[in-house]
Amino acid sequence: MRIAILISGRGSNMTKLIDSCKENIPSSTIELVFSNSSKAIGLEYAKNESISIEVIDHKKFKTRENFDEALHRKLKEYEIDFICNAGFMRILSKEFVKKWFNKQINIHPSILPAFKGLDIHKRVIDSNVQVSGCTVHLVRAGVDEGPIVGQLSTYIDSTYDEKKLANKVLELEHILYPTCLKLFSEELIKVEGDIIKYSSEALIELQKIQNNT
Ligand code: GRF
């Protein structure tokens, strides 16, 4: 599977995807790291790993659709099969989402469908819920919408503030995202429309990471 990772900033999830593809997902290669900002810190890591990087500034386009079309063309140029959004701070148009239907996943730092959107950890702490975590989901047209592929959770005790929660959830993201990518790469899950069908190996992998975190 030829994969593109879309980033806008730090790229810590991107580095985990790159490393795990090299180390334990032989069926996939990261062919492209794409960003809408030349300032994205993650680009440097990708470059050092000799991965192609492409930057297209969304501000140069009149409409969302025009930018998404340029992104789509780039992905086609690199013969990409599958997209991983990793901190890509753009809402994608309906047309783009349709073109990559069930071939695009995203990671979000909450237990979806709770706490969609931004400023998540503050909202979680303020709401006094006892559990938070992260979610990998297939991308649909609504923000942070789409069938859930995998989730990891953590208890929040009284020692947690926003920063501690963000660090803990990021740790979980770095475990969950490569695992979910592996499930797609090795065809351990199949998607029919909005329904994800898990093989027993997939369920074992997901249970294993839940038990170890
Ligand atoms: C992560 O928390 C991810 O869940 C969210 O944006 C953040 C990106 O972090 N979508 P990084 O760029 O991967 O370090």
pLDDT in tens, 7-64: 999 999 999 999 999 999 999 999 999 999 999 999 999 999 999 999 999 999 999 9
Q: Which of 91, 122, 170 has the most ligand 1 atoms within 8 A of CB, as the residue to mutate?
A: 170
3-class secondary-structure state, position 86: coil
The model's pTM is 0.97
Q: Is the CB of 13 under 6 A from ligand 1?
A: yes
What's the rounded mean pLDDT across residues 79-97?
Answer: 97
pLDDT in tens, 154-166: 999 999 999 999 9
| Two tokens, residue 114 | 């709770």
Location of structure tokens 């803990």 = 168
Cα(86) to centroid(ligand 1), Å:
6
201 phi and psi angles, rounded to 5 deg = -60, -40
Location of structure tokens 């649909």 = 140
Which sequence positions are flagged as catalytic? 108
Other CB atoms within 10 Å distance of the CB of residue 21: 23
- Please check whether residue 12 is in contact with residue 170, taking contact to mean a CB–CB distance below 8 angstroms: yes
| Two tokens, residue 170 | 């990021």
Question: Atom 7 of ligand 1 has which residue's CA nearest to it?
Answer: 87
pLDDT in tens, 173-193: 999 999 999 999 999 999 999
Location of structure tokens 């190996």 = 201
Domains of the chain: 1-100 (3.40.50.170), 107-213 (3.40.50.170)
Q: Is the CB of 166 under 6 A from ligand 1?
A: no
Cα(197) to centroid(ligand 1), Å:
26
Cα(61) to centroid(ligand 1), Å:
25
Mean pLDDT across the chain? 97
Q: Which atom of ligand 1 is nearest to the CA of 107?
A: 4
CA-to-CA distance for 4 and 52, rounded, in angstroms? 10
